[in-house]
Amino acid sequence: MISGLPPPAILIIGTFLIPFLKGRSKSAYLLLLPVIAFINVLIIPEGVHWTISFLDYNLILGRVDRLSSAFGYIFTIITFIATLYALHLKNEDGQHMAAFLAAGGALGATFAGDLLSFFVFLEMITIASTYMIWARRTEASYGAGLRYLLVHLFGGLCLLVGILIHMHQTGSIEFGVIGLNGLGSYLILIGFGINCAFPVLHAWLPDAYPESTITGTVFLASFTTKVAVYSLARSFPCTEILIWIGAAMTVFPIFYAAIENNLRRVLSYSIINQVGFMVVGIGIGTPLSINGSVAHVINNILFKSLLFMTMGAVLHQTGKINATDLGGLYKTMPLTTIFCIIGALSISGFPLFNGFVSKSMIMGAVTNEGMGILWLVLLFASAGVLHHAGIKIPYHAFFFHDSGIRTKEPPLNMLLAMGMAAFLCVFIGIFPGALYSILPHSVDFQVYTGAHVLDTFQLLSFAALAFCLLILSGLHPVEWRVILLDTDWFYRKPAKAFPRLSNRQMPWTIFIVIPLFACAVISLVLGIYGSFVF
């Protein structure tokens, strides 16, 4: 007898009870669901469970191994933290429901044992994420959400066609190692790559995430790109092209982040940079590099969510998020300032913080493979992370000049959520063994050696010194007060051709028009595919 339920079932089914609850019972229910989901993931034994026959194929809703379990743990943990952060929302059942559907979709995609099930859950994340962007109900969020939807529909179409071709070539829909061996595999990689924010395919992320709701951004930053990283680890480990794609991802966002004025957009570019480290580790494909990538997913979800929560708190309390409009908030938001600094130290990879542990594993794997040029690229990228996320974010928001803004700390639930994430960042940094115990492969890696700690402090110290000299000399790039030109220009223009919708019409567009469109696309693909293949 199988212990537990299919991993996504609790969050997805539980979502539909939310509108019927009120007051404290609703708050308790919202917090209880991710706890039950975590326990459920914890008790499911390794193996293949919940197989459904579909035509001549088996759909698998529960392929449980150490890789999927590691992602399942962090997805349920961050769902609890992000839900606590959003607990102050009143009359916003739609946001809570979309968040749980996105979390359920992430769990479903993670534990799916076949490509078709994975595709369905991935599209569930897309639909729920679009709602969380539109839920902010501004002109900018409407446009960003529509562009997000268009890009991910295109990515889903590439993935679907790739799956169909792969099915014909192999006779299997198993979600396992695919490798680059034909048109189908390349289309699948493109589909994954769009969700992963590969270079050129990345602009949807800094376009959409800053326009989401304050709470929705925390969920967005935790699921879409991380599920894509999981899909790469599952299907394309030890694929050399991923090494150089990942290396490019670590570098180019640094330049955008350096001149970006919107601090939530700075963090969005930083997501691409951090995902680049994960992609590099997957491309190398050794046990150490895979462990490093998975560990960095876990750590990144924690410290990036923490940073987004602190910036969300700033936006919630001041109504401002541009670097040029902020400063001096440490006086009235001391706890939020401390939490932001912890997140900044973590993402920068300072010893005793979780980012140091996982980034060291990836850098160690690069060193073991003798890839000197790649090591230098990642070293430069690490210095850039300290600049734009480790220093710029807390400096401009809480220090810099006195902006004259006088406010107070955000609601208690937001502080508690930030405190939990901050605690985990420090705990994992001090006790990395807790993280090692859930990674896919056994870990034989000593992160706290004297030489390595000294080298890290030297790098970070010189990078911090460079930032200070640039500021004092007036040579630091000025934050631009405009939308930076990026590859999203190519679909911003076509998106304007779509009819405008009112705020009330947007959810119905998602849940009615988009499924109809998806059915039409699937029918078309099956027809074309059948004509040319069968």
SS3 content of the chain, % helix, strand, coil (to 5): 70, 5, 25
The tens digit of pLDDT for each residue in 297-335 reads 999 999 999 999 999 999 999 999 999 899 889 999 999
Counting runs of H as helices and runs of E as strands, what totals does the chain give? 22, 2
The tens digit of pLDDT for each residue in 497-510 reads 555 555 555 555 55
Chain position carrying tokens 């059915």: 519
Where is pLDDT greater, at 38 or 388? Answer: 38
Report residue 229's pLDDT band, with 50, 70 and 90 as the boundaries.
Answer: very high
Secondary structure in 3-state letters for 114-127: EHHHHHHHHHHHHH
Of 167-171, 274-278, 518-522, highest mean pLDDT: 274-278
The tens digit of pLDDT for each residue in 388-447 reads 888 899 999 998 878 788 889 999 999 999 999 999 999 999 999 999 999 999 988 999
At 452 the pLDDT is 87
At 95 the pLDDT is 95
The tens digit of pLDDT for each residue in 171-198 reads 899 999 998 988 999 999 999 999 999 9
Question: How far is 529 from 532, CA to CA, in rounded Å?
Answer: 6
At 488 the pLDDT is 67
Q: Beta strand pairing status for 57-64 and 47-54?
A: antiparallel
Query: What are the boundaries of each domain within the chain?
Result: 10-236, 237-478
User: Distance between the two ends of the chain, CA-based, in angstroms?
Assistant: 41
The tens digit of pLDDT for each residue in 231-242 reads 999 999 999 999
Report residue 38's pLDDT band, with 50, 70 and 90 as the boundaries.
Answer: very high
Report residue 532's pLDDT band, with 50, 70 and 90 as the boundaries.
Answer: very low
Task: Give the contacts of 384 (CB within 8 A, at least 6 positions apart).
Answer: 251, 254, 257, 258, 273
| Residue 534 scores a pLDDT above 60 | no
The pTM (predicted TM-score) of the whole model is: 0.92
Beta strands in 187-297 (DSSP E): none
| Residue 61 scores a pLDDT above 90 | yes
Around Cβ 516, how many Cβ atoms within 10 Å? 9
Angle subtended at Cα 229 by Cα 192 and Cα 297, rounded to the nearest 5 degrees: 160
Give the mean pLDDT of the chain. Answer: 90
Nearest to 99 by CA among 113, 112, 85: 85
At 32 the pLDDT is 97
Question: How far is 68 from 62, CA to CA, in rounded Å?
Answer: 9
Of 198-207, 452-461, 497-506, highest mean pLDDT: 198-207
